[in-house]
Structure formats: C-alpha cells, structure tokens
Amino acid sequence: MRAVTVSVPEGNGDHIDINFKDGPPLLGCDNLYVVSEQVWHVPATNSAGFSAKAGRDYVIKLILGTYDKGEYTIKLQCGDGPEDACDDGQDNDTDSLTDCEDSDCFADLICSGGKGGDVCGDAFEVNGGSPVGLTDVGDKGIEFDYWNTTKNKANDLSAACAPATAQGPDAVYRFELADPLHFNVSVEFNDFMQEPAVYLLKGDCEPGGLVGCGQTFFGLSIMDANLDAGTYYLVVDSNAIGIDGKPHADDYSVEFFFSEQSPPEDCANAADDDDDGKTDCEDPECFEDATCTGGKTGEDCASAFPVNGLEPLAQGQQYMAWNTTIGKHNDFAGDCNPFSPEGPDTAYVFKLDQTTAVTASVQFVNGFTPTLMMYGGLCGHTNQIDCQTAEMDTATVTQTLGPGQYYLVVDSGDALFMDPMADDYTLTIDAAAP
C-alpha cells in the first residue's frame, strides 16, 4: 500500500489530521500510541500518503479539525512507484505527492536544476539562478516552493545562533537579489517532532557572512528579514542528534517569499512607520537601536540593557522593554530550570533608591516557556535572588528589594519541549510601595 485518500462531506471539518500507526496485527485503537513504529502525516485538507512496508498491518486514525461530525469515506490506493514523471501534474504512484513534492523526484533535473544542494558550490538555485528584483515581486510579491531532503546529506554547515546545527546534515539554496527586498522563508519537516533550523549567509557562504537564524517550533522553522541586494545562501539544517544517537534528517518543503520592503521603523517617533502593528522599541527592527538598548548588547552583565536609563525606578510606575534571545549567547544558568544552561539569554540592570516591591514578568511571543532570573549586587549565580520558569508563556518574579543595583536575566531554557526555544519577548517591570 502506498497511499491513503480521505474525503469528508463539506461542512464537517475544515481540516483533517490523518495519522498512520504501524503495529502488530489486529492492533486495537486503545493501543494506538504504544506501537513500536509510527508514521505521521498531517496533510492538506483531504489526503495523505506514506510508503508502507510489506507484511504489516496499519491503523488509520482520522481527527477532524473542528467539533463538527458527519459521514466520511476512506479510499485506499496502492501503487508500486516510483513517480515516473516529475512535471505532468499527476500523482503517478498514488502516494498523494505530485511531481517535485514526491521524494522520487527530488534528484530529477526538473526539480533540482541539476544541483545536489549538499554544499554552497552546488546549492539549489532559487528562481533558476536568475536575480529577483522589484520588477519581479510587483505589488503582491513572488513565491518559490521547493521540496527535498536532508537524508544522506553531509553536515557541512552550522550557525552560531543555532548551536545544534553543528550536529545535523544540511541542504543549501542560493538566491540573488537585484534590489533590496523583504525576505520570508518557511521550512517544514514531514515529521513535526523533528525541528529543522534555517539560517542565512550573505556573500561567499562563510560563517562571517551570517545574517541570522530563523525561529523553530514543532517541525517548522521561519525567518523574516529585510535584505540588501546581493547573493545569499539559505541553509536548511537538520539541527540535532536524536535520542537514538543519529542525526535528525527528514524530507521537507521550503517556501521562499520576496516582496517590496516596508518603510523602516523610526524607533523614537511614537508611530508605526512600517505598519506591522508594533511601534518604536516594540518593533524587532529596533531591538539593536541605541534608543531602545541604551547602546548596550544585553549579552552579559557588563553590557546589560539599562532599565529607565539606569535612573532609580519610581514607585507606582511600570517599565517595559522588548527584545529577543534569538542569536544571543548562552551566558547564564538558573537553578529553577535544568534547561537554562543550554538556552541563549539577555540581561537587564535596574536601580532602586528606596525599599520597593518589584514584580517583573517576561512573555515570549510564540508561546514558548522562558525562565526569568533576578540577581542582587554583583551579577552571578551566587547572588541569585529568585528564579522562575513559565508554566505557560510567562515567567514572573516578585521580590521586595532594598536600595541598590539589581539584574534581570531573560533565559530561553525550555522545560516543556526539552530544547532551548529562543524567541522575541516583552519584559514588564512594576515598581510599588512595599
């Protein structure tokens, strides 16, 4: 059996998750989650497929994407494969994957452009290698979709802002911009339990040309940036070693989207200049602007971001700051979270001139679970006053403090998903009478 197609009457679920489980004969649904091997496929609305092995029984579980219910039909199709034409718009081997989406076509000239994608010198060419410019993107932008795999690829590249990339195989895409453009890329692994990384290099594909890393969450990695004209290399990286001691590797889809840049954000005019719903220091474009950082990097205590310009906090006032742990170094570790030694972090410093009740909260944008640490006097673990890990997406510390200087550290250590989850965040500090 090579494919499963499911149809549900209109109005009975706007999305279906189709999960395949491989197990012993006559496996009951009660045992669906304890079988030795699993094959997951979360499809488009009506179909999903997988390569099955001979002599095995399979259980198919259907989950509607809403609380609707109704009749449905299941159609099982078998194909011997492989996909015998990669440009005819047909699913020749009935595995629910068409043309270049099908792993049978990954190496086909039509889908690969004759490139292997394993090293920068043999990178897959976006737009066939032709530069992308303003005339190409027009008013609506332009999109390029590709499919391939990190399986059997070498581990050639890594990025400092995603340390686990040094352990996983990778694939490389090259594109050229004729004009400054806005760039968005998303990479999705077929197995959402594996977490890819994406990172971007400019120029000659050397570490010194690193532009940045994307955000990764449950099989999906996304990156968004304004880019100058030039040559770039986008790396899809398997990003880790699994519990079996083998590098993560999987088939994936990657979507490139280029559009005209919005006006740059002015970080001090109280206006949303680029129309993204974020004003001044809230906007990621301002995370490194001196207006918002006080000229500091936040990387360690010596360069901690100053709260209130390092003037003493006033009781009855609230102070807010916005930044990111993405791309930051890992300098701190809190004893309330065993994963914080692995997570990138940022530091803040504030002063008090009288005894004050201080409540500080940090919230990650994408729902990850940060850790928030508070230090008194000298900035170091021996001076830790409090350490809290978020139960959901917000970590909060509350302490009554005497006059002096204190530090807050926002840490990406994540106890929920067993992996450091760097993210943009909002830090809120309330000062009140004790």
Q: CA-to-CA distance for 412 and 326, rounded, in angstroms?
A: 9
Return the minimum-mean-pLDDT range out of 20-29, 197-206, 377-386: 20-29
* Model pLDDT for residues 10-40, shown as the tens digit of each residue: 444 444 444 544 555 444 444 444 333 444 4
pLDDT in the model for residue 243 = 63
Specify whether 69 is located in the same domain as 167. Answer: no
Last residue of a domain, one of 242, 259, 276: 259
Domain membership flag for residue 209:
yes
Specify whether 169 is located in the same domain as 298. Answer: no
Domain membership flag for residue 276:
no
pLDDT in the model for residue 335 = 82
pLDDT in the model for residue 114 = 95
* Model pLDDT for residues 270-286, shown as the tens digit of each residue: 998 888 889 999 999 89
User: Are the CB atoms for 304 and 407 separated by under 8 Å?
Assistant: yes
Specify whether 119 is located in the same domain as 185. Answer: yes
Specify whether 160 is located in the same domain as 245. Answer: yes
Last residue of a domain, one of 212, 233, 259: 259
Nearest to 144 by CA among 234, 45, 220, 274: 234
Q: Which residue has the higher pLDDT, 135 or 343?
A: 135
Token digits of residue 2: 């090579």
Domain membership flag for residue 286:
no
Specify whether 222 is located in the same domain as 305. Answer: no
Specify whether 128 is located in the same domain as 228. Answer: yes
pLDDT in the model for residue 194 = 76
Highest mean predicted confidence (pLDDT) among 165-169, 177-181, 361-365, 377-381:
177-181
Q: CA-to-CA distance for 152 and 173, rounded, in angstroms?
A: 17
Q: What residue numbers bound the domain in which 49 lies?
A: 3-77
Report how many domains make up the chain: 3
316 CB-contact burial (10 Å; exposed 0-12 / middle 13-18 / buried 19+): exposed
Specify whether 120 is located in the same domain as 199. Answer: yes
Model pTM above 0.75: no
Residue 5 clears pLDDT 70, i.e. is over it: no
Specify whether 165 is located in the same domain as 63. Answer: no
Specify whether 66 is located in the same domain as 112. Answer: no
Specify whether 316 is located in the same domain as 409. Answer: yes
